Structure 1
Amino acid sequence: MARLPRLNLPNIPQHVVQRGNNRQVTFVENIDYAVYLDKLKQYAHEYDVQVHAYVLMTNHVHLLLTPSTANGVSKLMQSLGRYYVGYFNRAYQRTGTLWEGRYKSTLVETDNYFLLVSRYIELNPVRANMVSHPADYTWSSYQHNAVGKRIELITEHALYRALGVTDQNRQACYRALFEKQIPAKTLADIQSATNKMWVLGSDRFKQQVEALAGRRATPIPRGGDRKSTTYKKQSSNQ
């Protein structure tokens, strides 16, 4: 089955996930995390991509990005991946691939999902039982968004800035969001949309993406009565 082209649209946030090949470690020492973030900052600037949230885990990364051009994220990830693999292989005297194939990504509807995805990303170390609170994890944008430690890499999204009139207000309001758990279904929706590279958002948003991208934004329904009017209508819209 032919692989659909990646959904890339300018000015729409993307949740990006890249994993180590066979779940192998991609960060060993603190310097590795620092090098990755430094190059992420460099290439984000070069390709005009805003970085709103991130977490660097031991064997994968999550990023929340907004590109100004359709191919900005692809160029950033290609350049970043090429540089970091070379660095990692030299540092640890190894050869071959580091990352697991193509990175995964999903377009994120801003109003309904942006802050949810940001929380989802920054809560990864807690879900992985690495820390008890996201503030205890160093390699995460929570340090900027909630704690107030300035990270030059981060560009604050308009939705985040609308949380308060001052930095302190915004950080307090953002921290308050973490007092409520993300519902299990929402977690599953975020994971599924990202891993399968569909769209995370309302039906209306998905329809808008399909119109702009010229390709479907949701999977083809499986099963059902192929002679029914509903099934034919759904199929004609794919």
Structure 2
Amino acid sequence: MTRRTRYSGADVSQHIYDRGNNRQRIFADEQDYAHFAAAMFRFARKFEIAIHAWALMPNHFHILLTPSKPDTLPRFMQFLKSTYTTYFNMKNKRTGTIWEQRYKQLLADDQEYILELYRYIELNPVRAHLTKGPRGFHWTSYHTNAMGVPSGGLTPHPYYLLLGTDEHERQKNYREFVRAAFGKERSFYEAQVAILKTAAASIAVYGSEEFHKKISERVTFALPHYQRLVIMTEQESG
């Protein structure tokens, strides 16, 4: 099978996703989660990659990040996955890979797309019925982005910073944005989840036509393109 080419340019925000081989658990206890999170932030600093949002689930992980230099993302992922594999195999007295395949990559632009990825990633535990609300699951960036819990490894995305003039206003507005997924924006949010689950199957672009064109000019292979759905109420549509 031909290995899919990866986009390794700089300054493009990306949703990175990977899961355990045969959907097996890769995080069995708090020690596992903590070990992966520490390695994630350590290698992000090493390769000058900004991490904006993340969620560690029992059998997979999601990271929203932006590389500052070209060709660093593949190295970051190689170091992160191989380091965790070594730890996991030693702990569980096993050998071989624990990952299903190469990581998935979704390129994104514009505030609406970036914030949708924030919400999608941090609500993973809720959709998986691990908790009733995002505050109830420890291993996501929601606690920093929405609640202000200090995190030395997290970098607010420039579009997240537009949510308010100070951190308290940004956190309040972000909490309201997340809550809207279960209220007035529920239909819209569920539509975006369906789009993002489809897009996670391969490298793809989640953004405007202009952004897709810009990225396509940098690569030599076709990129699937996904956009946010516009869902109007009967009143809005007349």
Q: Which amino acid aligns with 1:19?
A: R
- The Cα offsets for residues 152-185 of structure 1, whole Å up to 9 and x where unpaired, read as 1101111111211221111101101012225333
Distance in 2 (CA, whole Å) between partners of 1:128 and 1:2 is: 32
* Contact 1:145 1:171 survives alignment (8 Å): yes
Q: Comparing 3-12 with 143-152, which one deviates more in the overlay? A: 3-12
- Quick check: 1:213 aligned with 2:219? yes
* Contact 2:111 2:160 survives alignment (8 Å): no
- Quick check: 1:159 aligned with 2:159? yes
* Contact 2:51 2:66 survives alignment (8 Å): yes
State the 4+ residue runs in structure 1 displaced beyond 6 angstroms.
none
- State the match for 1:132 in structure 2: 132
- Scaled by the length of structure 1, the TM-score of the pair is 0.88
- Highest Rg: 1 or 2? 1
Q: Which amino acid aligns with 2:66?
A: T
The share of aligned pairs that are identical, in percent, is 36
- State the match for 1:5 in structure 2: 5
Distance in 2 (CA, whole Å) between partners of 1:112 and 1:146 is: 17
- The Cα offsets for residues 12-60 of structure 1, whole Å up to 9 and x where unpaired, read as 1110111000011101121111111111111101111100000000110
Q: Which amino acid aligns with 1:96?
A: G
- The Cα offsets for residues 122-151 of structure 1, whole Å up to 9 and x where unpaired, read as 000000011010011100000100011111
* Contact 1:9 1:213 survives alignment (8 Å): no
- Quick check: 1:194 aligned with 2:200? yes
- SS of corresponding position for 1:213: coil
How many pairs align? Answer: 219
- State the match for 2:102 in structure 1: 102
Q: Which amino acid aligns with 2:52?
A: H
Output aligned runs, 1:4-23, within 5 Å.
Answer: 4-23=4-23
Please provide the CA RMSD for this pair.
1.5
Q: Which amino acid aligns with 1:202?
A: S
- State the match for 1:112 in structure 2: 112
Q: Comparing 152-161 with 4-13, which one deviates more in the overlay? A: 4-13
Runs of 5+ unmatched residues, structure 1? 220-238
Distance in 1 (CA, whole Å) between partners of 2:9 and 2:68 is: 8
* Contact 1:109 1:202 survives alignment (8 Å): yes
